[in-house]
Amino acid sequence: MREADFRLPAGNRASAAVRAEIMAAAELLFCRRSSPGETAERALLIVGQSAHLRSLSWEDVRDVLLPRVDEQTWRRALRCLQADRTDVCPLWLNMVTVAALPPAVSRHNTPSSAHALARLVETRLGAQHSAHIMVVCEKSSVFASACAVARAFPLFSRKSERSSSREDRRVTVEFFCVEPRGERLSNSALECLSRAAQSVRLAARIVDSPCSDMDTERFLQEVRAVAAELRISPVIIRGEELRKKGFGGIYGVGKGATSRPALAVLSHTPPAATQTIAWVGKGVVYDTGGLILKGKTQLPGMKRDCAGAAAVLGAFSAAVKQGFKENLHAILCLAENCTGPRATRPDDIHRLYSGKTVEIRNTDAEGRLLLADGAAYALRDLKADVILDMATLTGAQGVATGRYHGALLTNDEDWEKACVAAGRSSGDLVQPLVYTPELHFSEFSSAMADVKNFVSVTFTAVARGPSRAPLAFTDSTPPHPFPSPLLVCMPNGLFSEELLLTHCSSPAKRSESHGTVCMCVCLLCHGAGPQ
């Protein structure tokens, strides 16, 4: 390996079980180019769009292919690849493979074909102990491709046959840029890729972990580990202290659980900052639905309801390491929504941190209560100029934007455009929803409180549902609009175990389980990605 190798650290101050788990996972390294013969005994995957692969000369790939594959075999394989779809051609048993990504990219897709790349890498190399990946792409697709590769190598596993030797699980990744031709990545770019990939795998590990391993206390351990690594002192408010300080939304959702609810805040405040940005993440470590209990087909997979907070934590870590120049706050609203004698009941009324009261009509509509407290804290205490909420908030997202696009709701058109562009650049796609809260606020009126947290689902639910989010933050009802740019991101989780699922009725297949840390990567691309 040449001088520019960047390894993903295993993370510091983790528990013994987590450290052992990470040590058994694949070590991921990003490098400029491999040395001649270095990949001779390892699985090799050369992947890119068909046109990019055909643009390679033999000299471009000779060092990674020899001595197992000669020039004639290489050129024959390129001729065999189908140009109009994803295709794979083995070159030397199952150890050396060239693969073509789908060429069709419409205007709402990512040019990197990141979803296809992640699936292909996991399918071809997921079981290999040692591998080398050569990604052939344009320089503009490098960031998305690196994060896609990271998704294919999750850190969490309880499989008994998984190797305990870290040396047996080393994966190196190099990029060949076809535009500009042959340009090699700088050390700073490789370091950025490593940090982004680390954040992806961190968020994936948190969300993949079952609640028995990742309750609110364990989640706080992850927060403290990130804080220690960044030399930040976190603000943590827990249990009864939440109630005393007025966080009725977070407290009300989590008070029935044995693991106490919490609000955790990490703050990065560089001296030259001119703007304050707050990322608010929903962290429901398990969502039974509360007393309005989910059905038996809906409960499996509800460990993933902490995905918004996990993605915010991972993105915050990478952004700060990357030298984010503005004030940045990660606000994690953590709770377990469960049944029990102390659980919130339908008809209960909670007073939120904004001062508003909310009548509970559905205990399974808990995410908006957490976000209400988090966003009000961001506005009132942190004086945020921009607030972004991320949550596995509603099953209506899947109806509105489908399987591959997270739903985006915002009161600011410029931020809407910026997030859509960041999604295409990062490979974590988002699609805007209609923002017309004034048409739907009246439906949330309550005879007993300022608002209610749920209305019956009708054909307008997709349009009005996300409008609930700003309701209880501040005095945001018309004619008093929310005073800061507000973004509500509802990533899709139908295909992702690491992130993004609120009300999916069946668990994801393992082969598709690590599809995104949607918006974690999108946020990095918008705020701290490589230039």
Concatenating the DSSP letter of every residue in 353-412 gives TTS-EEE-S-TT--HHHHHHHHHHHHHHTS--SEEEEE----THHHHHHTTTEEEEEES-
DSSP-H helix ranges across 236-338: 240-244, 248-254, 307-321
> Contact at 8 Å (CB) between 132 and 63?
no
> Contact at 8 Å (CB) between 387 and 409?
no
Residue corresponding to tokens 């052992």: 20
Position 413, amino acid: E
List, by residue number, the catalytic residues: 294, 368
Host H or E run for residue 188: helix 187-208
Residue corresponding to tokens 């190797």: 163
Phi-psi sector, 234: left (phi>0), alpha (psi -120 to 50), beta: beta
Measured between alpha carbons, how far is 257 from 284 in angstroms, rounded to an integer?
11
| 3-state class (DSSP) for residue 109 | coil
The DSSP 8-state label assigned to residue 327 in this structure reads: E
Measured between alpha carbons, how far is 174 from 51 in angstroms, rounded to an integer?
19
| 3-state class (DSSP) for residue 228 | helix
Q: 300 - beta bridge partners?
A: none
Per-residue CA distances from 429 to 463, 485, 501, 503 (Å)? 19, 20, 15, 20
> Contact at 8 Å (CB) between 37 and 64?
no
- Per the omega criterion (within 30 degrees of 0), is the bond before 67 cis? yes
Position 204, amino acid: A
The DSSP 8-state label assigned to residue 441 in this structure reads: G
User: What order of strands is seen across the sheet that includes strand 451-452?
Assistant: 349-351, 357-359, 451-452
Host H or E run for residue 219: helix 216-230
> Contact at 8 Å (CB) between 496 and 122?
no
Per-residue CA distances from 494 to 102, 126, 389 (Å)? 22, 21, 20
User: What is the rounded end-to-end Cα distance, in angstroms, of the chain?
Assistant: 25
Q: How many CB atoms lie within 10 A of CB 456?
A: 8
> Contact at 8 Å (CB) between 15 and 214?
no
Helix axis angle, 142-151 to 520-527, nearest 10°? 150
Minimal CA–CA distance to 117: which of 94, 95, 136, 93?
136
